Structure 1
Amino acid sequence: MKKTLLLLAVTAISLFNAQANATYLSRVNLVQQTNIENYNAALVGFGVRSTGSTASTNALNYIVQKYKDFGYTDSQITYDNFTYSSNTVQNIIITKTGTVYPDQYVIICGHYDSHPNNSVGANDNGSGVAAIMEVARILKNVPTEYSIKFIHFTGEEQNLLGSKNYVSNVVKTTSMKIKLVLNLDQIGGRSDRTNNTIVCEADNYNNTTQGIQSTNDAASLTATNSLKDYVGYYSTLTGVLNYAYGSDYMPFENNGEIITGLYERPTNSSGTVVTNPYYHNNTDTIAHLSYPYIFQVTKAALGAMQHFAVASTSTLAVSDIEKTKDFELYPNPAKEILNLHLDDSIKDFSFEISDSNGRVISITKNQKQINTSQLKPGVYFGTLSSEKGKTSKKFIIK
């Protein structure tokens, strides 16, 4: 984790659709501070989450269970294993498939381990984990054009071991196509200081030695300028540009990916940036961070992720899609093909399409791809029947 802040006084024209969206804002308003507090308190309650410890394993199990509670299935949750100090440890990866570009990914990430120096890591990085989980909860049933990976790394405090392993053994070996990496690390602020600004971190290594790649700097700056705009659109905070360094986006940067990030920026009464003396020791506790601040950062991150992953602008994605673990329809709106994503436990099923008047148009058996090319534009209902019963959802043909 980094310890100093350097102001990056540069601007760029945004190519990331930097314009506020009313539907995106309606989802941002679903963020609940109480949820963030509960996630964070649970992580802190496990104790010092040093890599490979029992507390770290308990945190991993908690995070995975919460994603299942949100409705993510076993097939969406994977692990990236590596060895640390003779122990097998795991990064957690939750994948939400995109509707237009399923093989291109927007990654939002942050580490769940805490510093081994007797730190329970309420801020570093329980704050980032809590924010990512709340973003994932709200986006669960929102169609996005690009796939999203919600990644919780371990081993960050041991020189980015988890993210290095993931990039080396997954990203490179699969030639993964990554649109953007958004990293959340230490976004808790200080309870005893003003918290009304947030650092938006851009990759700029032309004149430094930590980064390897420089060809990705301009694209990162463009994305980070957009991130700065999104902060203003969807939260009460003001974004301030700064250099990215010392966290889990660095292995991605070294691989040539476009990176950006959010990092706390507490100030004194005169607006001067102050350091945070609490992290990396036993004072990194809930008492020293600001939950209202994490709440605002989470709203900013959710707004940004909707732009970066190109979320649906239909209000149907928020209010009209039934929140169920059993099945999803995508893309929504659809045109020629409608896909069914089912819970792994459903093996035998039928799918019925009816129009807004209740007239049955088609019935298919055990098909997860439905040809909708003959349907006229409008609103339809899809009903899944299985051993679990019947569940209906609205969808649109454009």
Structure 2
Amino acid sequence: MKKFAIFCLVSVVSFSTYAQTFNSFYSTILENTSQTNILNDLTTFESFGIKNVGSTRLTDTETWITSRYQNLGYTDVVLQPFSYSAGTSNNIIVTKTGTVYPNTYLIIDGHYDTINGAGTNDNGSGTVLILELARLLKDINTEYSIKFIHFSGEEDGLIGSNYYVNNTVIPQDLDIKLVLNIDEVGGLAGTNNNTIVCERDLSSPSSNNAASNAFTNDLATLIELYTNLNTEISNAYASDYIPFENNGEIITGLYEKNETPYAHTANDLLVNMDVPYLYEVTKGTIGAALEFAVAYETLSLEEASNLDHLIRISPNPSDNFLTISFSKPLDQVVDFKIIDMLGKQVYKSTLREQTQNIAIDNLVAAHYLGVFKINNKRLIKKLIIE
């Protein structure tokens, strides 16, 4: 969208160092990103024509997106209807549940409605990016839950995202770690598309601005780690992250550097885009999503069995203390945390000794999860505190 608003871009800022490092596991996932998938999906998206609210063309696009998630094996696929003067439409909300923080969400969103044209860049580019991301993350364990959301009514004034915030986020008091908005990231054919703009929050309320700035710097760092793109920091405006920002949520976003002159016209077509650029943006977004959702490698049955025997927690149930013992001396540190059943971290420590005692007398009687992190792998054990 973004055409109706006039804002001053913020110049490139110096980056803070947030200890983002290259993750070889994430890299193996990124290697499966498919430029062919992206091209085919853009072609399909374009074929539906103008996707304005109230049209069968938008409904056909909605069915196509929904079917894609179902065919990938996602089961939590929800259509959220809303109505306004243009007609009735649906937000498409797909949830992938996290293993450690199931009730805290990374939201990755983009709109799928268009105006005056097929909108292959605005916002077919964001739509197919999210579909490719969801394909690659389907069977990857993440500590945090992810919501892939395709909003409708964006071109008429952020109608769908406003509805979602007012009717889901606020009444459910949804715990949102971060909102990552993808809008118009397809590049402009015939130009040197080597930079992606990472957008941070600079508006009121200011309470979420510092966190948005930190996440946006992280986003830029991660994109440069996993792609050949340069990054630039600018301000967030006029897209579906704004209702979240107004509610005090932490937001960031991506937007093309070479802004297309064809948005909201009949010429917003694949021929005027740069598919290899969108491919690079997709890879960078996937790398960032893996980091923000804290993805980790799945243990093989043999590894799980070996680690389960390697680590002993006693007593369990316990009341005042836990003793964590390893059957062999540690040759590397082990990160350990205790999570309650609501997903809140209540204890964190780094284990360096073969046997270590941990005081837990400040924890209320309940069931917990003990999470051991060794390299990029996790072992999760149930704990009972009486």
Superposition TM-score, scaled by structure 2 size: 0.76
Give the structure 2 partner of residue 194 of structure 1. 192
Give the structure 2 partner of residue 83 of structure 1. 83
| 1:67-146 superposed matches below 5 A | 67-73=69-75, 76-85=76-85, 87-115=87-115, 117=116, 119-146=117-144
Give the structure 2 partner of residue 294 of structure 1. 278
CA distance in structure 2 between the partners assigned to 1:120 and 1:33 by the alignment: 20
CA distance in structure 2 between the partners assigned to 1:181 and 1:14 by the alignment: 21
2:223 aligned residue (231, 235, 243): 231
Deviation at 1:7, TM superposition (A): 3.2
Give the structure 2 partner of residue 244 of structure 1. 236
Deviation at 1:12, TM superposition (A): 5.4
Give the structure 2 partner of residue 40 of structure 1. 42
CA contact (8 A) 1:108 1:183 kept: yes
CA distance in structure 2 between the partners assigned to 1:154 and 1:102 by the alignment: 26
1:168 maps to 2:170: no
1:282 maps to 2:282: no
CA distance in structure 2 between the partners assigned to 1:276 and 1:86 by the alignment: 26
Deviation at 1:52, TM superposition (A): 2.1
Aligned residue pair count: 311
CA contact (8 A) 1:52 1:84 kept: no
Q: 5+ residue gaps in structure 2?
A: 313-366, 382-386
CA distance in structure 2 between the partners assigned to 1:171 and 1:145 by the alignment: 21
CA distance in structure 2 between the partners assigned to 1:184 and 1:8 by the alignment: 21
| 1:304-343 superposed matches below 5 A | 304-312=288-296, 314=297, 316=298
Give the structure 1 partner of residue 364 of structure 2. none
Q: 5+ residue gaps in structure 1?
A: 206-211, 267-274, 322-329, 337-370, 379-394
Deviation at 1:14, TM superposition (A): 5.1
Give the structure 2 partner of residue 389 of structure 1. none
Deviation at 1:165, TM superposition (A): 0.3
Give the structure 2 partner of residue 63 of structure 1. 65
Give the structure 2 partner of residue 270 of structure 1. none
CA distance in structure 2 between the partners assigned to 1:147 and 1:226 by the alignment: 19
2:31 aligned residue (21, 29, 32): 29
Change (3 A) 1:219 1:397: closer
Q: CA RMSD in A?
A: 2.5
Deviation at 1:86, TM superposition (A): 6.1
Q: Deviations over 1:114-150 (max 9, x none)?
A: 11x2x10000000000000000000000000000000
What is the identity, as a one-letter code, of the residue corresponding to 1:101? Answer: Y
CA distance in structure 2 between the partners assigned to 1:53 and 1:37 by the alignment: 25
Deviation at 1:9, TM superposition (A): 3.4
Identity of aligned residues (%): 46
